[in-house]
Amino acid sequence: MKSIRYISTRGAQAPLAFKDAVMTGLARDGGLLVPDRIPNVADRLEEWKDLDYPDLAFEIIRLFADDIPESRLRELIADAYSTFAHPDVAPVRAAGPVHVLELFHGPTLAFKDIALQFLGRLFQEILEERDSRLNILAATSGDTGSAAIAGVRGQPRIRIFVMHPKGRVSPLQERQMTSVLDDNVFNLAVEGSFDDCQLLMKTLFNDLPFKDAHALGTVNSVNWARVLSQIVYYFYAAFRVMDSTGAPRVQFTVPTGNFGDILAGWYAKRMGLPVRRLVLATNENDILARFFHTGVYAKGQVVATVNPSMDIQVASNFERWLYYKVGQDPQAIARLMTRFALEGRMDIPRNEHDRVDEEIVAGSSDTRRTLATIRRFHEQYGCLLDPHTAAGVFVAGQFNELEDPMICLATAHPAKFPDAIEDATGQNLARHPLLDALEKAPVRCESLSNSAEALKTYLAARAR
């Protein structure tokens, strides 16, 4: 079978093999890398359905990563998931009207670990093979930063620079990042929002001479390997729910900020997984929910909420989905993204059913509904949800009228958001020994102005 190559959504990047795509991160023309085809695996579902998580991950990832020897790829995957506290890696539990896919059993208690434990090992493998160095620049709204740091801390060939919006991540999320004192880890509190951090990152990656001179790479979900790793748990969860319920297909609800997680589900559906539809859930920062209702993608002001990882107005992975929506036309993508950069909005026509997309529906929650959902699921089903997951579960209730089982992605351990849990339940229920140990840990972090030049100066002085 012909090897998959990675092309840019904007058309001006030469096709890349998988390892080169991983190291490139953001395409050199400013677009995002996507596979030049999506394999159909519908005829393999029966043989895959009883595989454990690492074996299933190997079967899926190897389809997209054919420049890594299979024996070595299997070892990297097994090593990555040996760090998870639950033997199933991503267990599924029934909770009243939904099935909850628990993605928080990794080292930093968030779904980002599933991709970043693998990606950290992948970086190390490629760098050793090429005798190279890498400076990772990342923007985080909370969980990506700590998961990325956990994936690469102490690696001699990597330095990681993580920007978070100052005062806009939860105290525990901040402490998870800033308490890692390894010499290769740099935490930066940026004056501004997560969207500002993300724009700084893209600005530096689009400065190709600077990017090349400082060997910049990314662990954000603009890196294709992040999305690829997340495809796996859609298959894993669907197999277990279909097996336990006898249903021929399922639905997924995904709490969404940067669109990468739900995009992974969209790829899984395109690969032949029997998914009836994907339900996108936002909080008060509802640019994506509004888009799937109206066809208008328009920026607004970022509002701070109880689910900070969703406090995003510009979803970096949206461009990948849009690329397929416009018929894989890179010129059309370039026009749309240029207009959005200039005007802060774009318009996409709806179909004859007055929908933007037949495969994705969307809704939003707010703080009151999210906290009420946490309280109700704890009281009625003994299931404690973090505020991101609870927003998804609330929105799932708006679309759970079909017979197909609804799987809700639980993206973080509730102990990462103790204040929201106590507000919802009136009890101090959200604890975890990994987080309790951070209470008195020393921290290291530097403040940085919201300036590309300030960031360049900082990096230039410390990058390898």
The set of catalytic residues is: 112
Question: CA of 192: how far to CAs of 160, 172, 188, 417, 448, in Å?
Answer: 20, 19, 12, 22, 10
Of 290, 280, 256, nearest in space to 359 by CA = 280
Q: Are residues 288 and 347 in contact, defined by beta-carbon separation less than 8 angstroms?
A: no
Using only C-alpha atoms, the chain has a radius of gyration, in whole angstroms, of 21
Helix (H) or strand (E) holding 337: helix 330-343
Phi, psi dihedrals of residue 170, rounded to the nearest 5°: -65, 150
Helix (H) or strand (E) holding 148: helix 143-152
Of 90, 77, 86, 400, nearest in space to 238 by CA = 90
Q: For residue 295, how many C-alpha atoms fall within 13 Å in the half-sphere facing its CB?
A: 14
Sign of the Cα torsion 411, 413, 415, 420 reads positive
Q: Are residues 85 and 413 in contact, defined by beta-carbon separation less than 8 angstroms?
A: no
* DSSP result, 289-302: HHHHHHSEEE----
